[in-house]
Structure formats: C-alpha cells, structure tokens
Amino acid sequence: MPFRFDNSYARDLTGFYLRQMPDRAPNPRLLGLNEALAAELGLDIDQLRDHGGEWFSGASVPSGADPIALAYAGHQFGGFSAQLGDGRAHLLGEHLGPDGRRWDLQLKGSGRTPFSRGGDGKAAVGPMLREYVISEAMAALGIPTTRVLGVASTGETIMRDQGPVPGAVVARIAASHIRVGTFQFFAARGEDDKLKQLLDYTIDRHFPDAAKAEVPALALWDAVMRRQVSLIAEWMGVGFVHGVMNTDNMALSGETIDYGPCAFIDTYEPGAVFSSIDRQGRYAFANQPVILGWNLARFAESMLGMIDPDQNRAVDLANQALDTIQSAYDEAWLNVMRRKLGLLGAQMDDVGLVQDLLSLMQDQAVDWTRTLQALAGAVTEDHTLLNLFAQQNPMKHWLVRWRARLAPDATDRLRLANPAVIPRNHLVEEALRAATLGDMSPFEKLLAQVRDPFGATAGREAYCLPAPSDFGPYVTYCGT
C-alpha cells in the first residue's frame, strides 16, 4: 500500500462532511513531486512517480482513500457565512507516518462539491504551484505550514479572468484541516452535540493535555491561541503577508494554511497589501496580529456553551482568556525579533531597539530581508548594511546601541536567523508565468533556492535581490 490510511474524521464524525469523489482528470500528468516530504512520510517514491499524476489529479484514488468534502463556516473579510465548506477540495484520508503521526492528504482544485456555491471547483497551474513554492519556503524557514506532496496537471483548460489557463490539482499534507470555521459551522446551527464531538476529537488529535483541564474548552482555546501567536509572530519576522486571514483559514493545529493571495514584502511597509480583493487593508501586514485576536474571539464565541452552561459566566471566562492574547503575542514577537537581531538575553529597552530599527527601515524604504540578513556583517565593520540606507547617520547611531546588546556568538546566530533567500514576488510571477506556458525550469530553480534560505549568497545573487524598479505594484489573486 502506498498510503497507510486510517480515516478517523470520516469514521468518527458523521455529519461533519459529505462524501464526494474528485472529478476524473482527463489527461493527468505529474508536474512536481516533493520527494523529501514523501520520504518523511514513509511513502514509496517510485510508486508516487508512477501513479502520482493520477492520484494527485483525482483521475483515480489510492487504495484506502475515502474522499470527503469538509463542512465549515467562516467570517470572510468580517462578514459571516454560515456555510462555506470545501468547494473545490477533497480530503482523501489520513495517512499514518512512520512515527505514527496522523497527516491529512487533501486534493485542492479537484472539482465541484455540494459546497461549491457556483464555482467550477477547479484550479489553475499557477496558483497550485504558488502554494507549492511558498509553503516549501515557509517549511525551510522553520515556520509551521501545510505542505505540498505533489502537483498534477489535469489536461483540462479552465477559464479565469485572464482567459483560458491549464488546470491543475495540488495534493496537500496537513496535521489536520480543522479550522475556527469548523467550530463556527456547528455553533451557528446550535448543534451542541456535534460541537462537543468536535471539541473532543480536536483535543484528542492535537491537544490531549487539554482533556485533563477543569474546563477543556478553555484549555483548547489557550493551546490554539499560543500556537497561533507564535505562528503570526514568525510570519511578521520574515515579512510574510497571508492576504486572506478569514476564520476558515485559521487551522487549529497552528499551521499556515491556504496560500492564496500571499506574498512577502520587499521594502518594509506596515500597510502592505497585495490581495486584489483586500481593498480596505483588513489583512495588511501590520494588521495580522490584530486579526489574529479577532479570529480567536470568534473561536471563543463558538465554544461559549462548552466553557460554562451559565452564559454570563462563560462570557466572563472567555473575556479573561481574550485579555491574554496581546501580552502573549507581544512576548512571541519580541522573542522572534531578539533572535533575528542576535541579542543576548532580554532587557526592558529591547522593544525600543527593535521599533527604532523598523522606523529607520520604513522611513528610508529599505528592503526587509536584505537589512536583516546584512546584520551578520554589521557585527564588525562590514558596510553592506549601512549602504542600504541613503541617510546613514541615524543607522550608525542605532548600530552603536545594537552592538552593545549582542550575544558573543551573534554572527553565527544572525546567519541562522535571517534568510538570504525568500520567494521574491517578481521571481514567483516569472516562474508561474513560464510554468503556465509549459516551461517548468524557472519554477524548479526557484524551488531549489527557497529550500536553502540560509545558505551563502555567492552564485545566487539574483534570488536575493528585490524586484527591479519597473516591476510595479504587486497584486495577487486567490486563484478561484
């Protein structure tokens, strides 16, 4: 058997999904196979090479699969939709890895389901490869993420705003696809029995210690909160903008999920927005911690009845929990930035040191990744960092304060904390455009580079530089 399926969600949670087979791709072809991930999962790579095109496109399903479309609700740009669900995705099952860990295997772009809401259920080559390259970059950066096992073209042509494009499906691995929106789905319907089932299942699968707590629902909320504040703090450290932080895109496992209109900032701009549909900047770079708190509040609301049968007491307990988010996030973010600045220990004025650097970066519109990566050389008298700033005197004063706080092994720490290579937006677009036209070479080269983010820059300088001046404002799309 290529996969060791043990499909507990389908088996134990009747009424949480609809059984639905993927569309059969007419002419499947394997575009990319994540062999390193396959090896981690204990999968037979030769079998995947032989059959991955069919399995990852929906043309056929591997033995033991039980395809389902998951039900969930969600707040999308602040507005609540009581029924969303997998409109173009099929959960094939849960694979057990060599260590016994459980991994969802889901197809995305694999056809319509009863949750499709008028969509075609399909996906194009470009957005599916975007998910592949960005999620692999995040994994290499050490940031929790869903990952792509493979991408297959379907042999179909689908219509999008830009015209006809080749269809594709991505096979995604995740710790699970349980979302804040999953809880919201049943809370909105007043289905308390199903909410309790979901609570117990989520705790058992992801947070078993919460079962021992006096109030398991609050313990689950706290565990999810801590994973999420850590995740978003890591996003902020690498300049990542998710682009669509709806509650149905917040996985309780603490993984980054659903790479739609995502991007990385070049110059440091707190208000950076790339998504074509985020016209108000709700999910702008600097707003991500705020939306984190908003989403966690919606999660708490969905569990009020399980926090305490007395509504007033449940609200009080939930509000007490919500009051902990800001301090937890501030601590997580400051720890990320201390690591990225190579600081020794912790001091009260570290926040000021970090904020002053961010102000200098914003005022002079310098590149986020290159500035942080150049810190390793600035431990001594390397001028690479200073040369990024048109006005150097303010930066010189900052460097004096910073050097006084450095750990003895700061140079090594800084090289391990700050990548030289991220998926630069112009290179991503170049690679996806070529792949859409049938040339996978630029994509494969970019993928290899982002998988080695902390390596030396020599010989790959083109992957370390921001977009040329004529690249223009960058706009991303959901791909639906």
Placement of tokens 């926040």 in the chain: 351
Element (H, E) at 188: helix 180-188
Question: What is the token pair recorded at 288?
Answer: 């991500």
Instruction: State phi, psi for 227 to the nearest 5 degrees.
Output: -70, -40
Placement of tokens 């939306």 in the chain: 291
Element (H, E) at 233: helix 216-238
Cβ atoms of 239 and 165 within 8 Å: the answer is: no
Give pTM, 2 decimals: 0.97
Residues in a beta bridge with 476: 275
Cβ atoms of 286 and 292 within 8 Å: the answer is: no
Question: What is the token pair recorded at 404?
Answer: 């006084």
| Alpha carbon distance 454, 224 (integer Å) | 29
| Alpha carbon distance 422, 446 (integer Å) | 10
- Cα Rg of the chain, angstroms: 23
What's the number of CA atoms in the CB half-sphere (13 Å) around residue 397? 5
pLDDT of residue 478: 77
Cβ atoms of 374 and 415 within 8 Å: the answer is: no
| Alpha carbon distance 165, 128 (integer Å) | 12
pLDDT of residue 480: 54
Cβ atoms of 57 and 166 within 8 Å: the answer is: no
Whole-Å CA distances, 414 to 129, 173, 344, 417, 419:
31, 31, 12, 5, 9
Neighbours of 59 (CB within 10 A): 21
Buried b (16+ CB within 10 A) or exposed e, 158-170: bebeeeebbbbbb
Torsion of CA 358, 362, 367, 372, to 10 degrees: -10
| Alpha carbon distance 406, 163 (integer Å) | 54
pLDDT of residue 1: 59
Mean pLDDT per 10-residue segment, the chain (480 residues): 93 97 97 98 97 97 97 97 96 97 98 92 97 98 98 96 93 98 98 98 98 98 98 98 97 97 96 94 97 98 98 98 98 98 96 98 97 96 92 96 96 97 98 97 98 95 94 82
Residue type, 184: Q
Placement of tokens 């830009």 in the chain: 162
Handedness of CA 429, 431, 432, 437 (dihedral sign): positive
Whole-Å CA distances, 148 to 108, 133, 172:
10, 9, 5
Catalytic positions, written as ranges: 248
Buried b (16+ CB within 10 A) or exposed e, 361-400: beebebbbbbbbbbbbbbbeeeeebbebbeeeeebeebbe
| Alpha carbon distance 57, 151 (integer Å) | 8
pLDDT of residue 381: 80
Element (H, E) at 151: strand 147-160
| Alpha carbon distance 114, 68 (integer Å) | 11
For the chain, the structural domain boundaries read 8-174, 343-406
